[in-house]
Amino acid sequence: MQRRDFFKQLGAVATIAAISPAISFADEAKKPKGPNDLSFKAALDAITGGKGAVESSKVSLKVPEIAENGAVVPVTVEVESPMTDSDYVKAIHILATKNANTRCIDVHLTPANGKAMFATRIKLGDTQDVTAIVALSDGTFLSASQNVKVTIGGCG
């Protein structure tokens, strides 16, 4: 079979693909509830004591625009800070705003880190914003967010 014919044949059944999102929605309703489920709002309040966080360019959040695989999404957070005893980043919190438990990790740093950076890999159930909340030693909170599209990629 010529390649063009191959793809033409694929096109003939393309409409069937529209059914699949409906199937996944039905699955979602039956999703079991986890013991640690916590909304983004509740997690943000718990971290900041209700004060909230200010979006800041001092926080650099690096995540892929499109995740190759929702099960392994690289996240790197870097914060501009001298990391001295009087002025340092106390904590970096990484949140996945639409996961049932939005909290991924709370990282408590000290001046001995020398540099305010933390990197890990997280699971994202769906396309959503990833947010980093940063606690500074002066008691204020900064944040940065970015959307990550999660698709089913590749074969098998």
Partner 1 sequence: MSSRKSLIKIKPNSYKDGEIVKVSFMVMHPMETGMRKDKTTKEIIPAKYVNSVKFEYNGKVITTMNVWESLSTNPVFTTYMKINGEGKFSVTYSDSTGEVHEKSMKIKPKG
Partner 2 sequence: MKNTIKIALSLALVCSLSYASEQFAMSDADREMYAEMLEDNPADIMVANGGELLEEFCGGEAGLAAFFKISEDELPAYIAGFPRYLEEFKQVVGLDQALQGLMHKNGHKPFALKSSDMFDMGSYAKSLANGVKLQIDIDANKHMKEAYALGKLTFEQKRGSRGLSCLSCHSPQVIGGILRTQPLPDIGSNGNASAATWPAYRMTKSSLRTLQRRFQGCMNNALLAVIPLGSPEMVGLEVYFTQEAKGSEIAIPGLKR
- Under the binding rule (CB under 8 A), the answer on residue 108 touching partner 1 is yes
Q: What is the DSSP string of 3-37?
A: HHHHHHHHHHTGGGGGHHHHHHHHHHHTPPPPTT-
- Under the binding rule (CB under 8 A), the answer on residue 153 touching partner 1 is no
CB nearer partner 2, residue 29 or residue 155 = 155
Q: How many CB atoms lie within 10 A of CB 31?
A: 9
End-to-end CA separation in angstroms for the chain: 24
CA distances from 40 to 15, 133, 150 (A): 36, 11, 19
Partners of 67 in beta bridges: 150
Among 22, 29, 112, 152, binds partner 2 (CB under 8 A): 152
Which are the contacts of 23, defined by CB distance < 8 A and separation ≥ 6?
A: none
Among 79, 109, 144, 148, binds partner 1 (CB under 8 A): 109
Among 41, 51, 121, 149, binds partner 1 (CB under 8 A): 121
Judged by CB under 8 A, which stretch of 18-26, 58-66, 112-120, 140-148 contacts partner 1?
A: 112-120
Residue keyed to tokens 């063009």: 4
- Given the rule CB under 8 A, which residues bind partner 1? 31-36, 71-73, 96, 99-101, 103-110, 112-115, 117-124
- Given the rule CB under 8 A, which residues bind partner 2? 1, 3, 6-7, 9-11, 13-17, 20, 62-66, 68-69, 71-72, 74, 119, 121, 149, 151-156
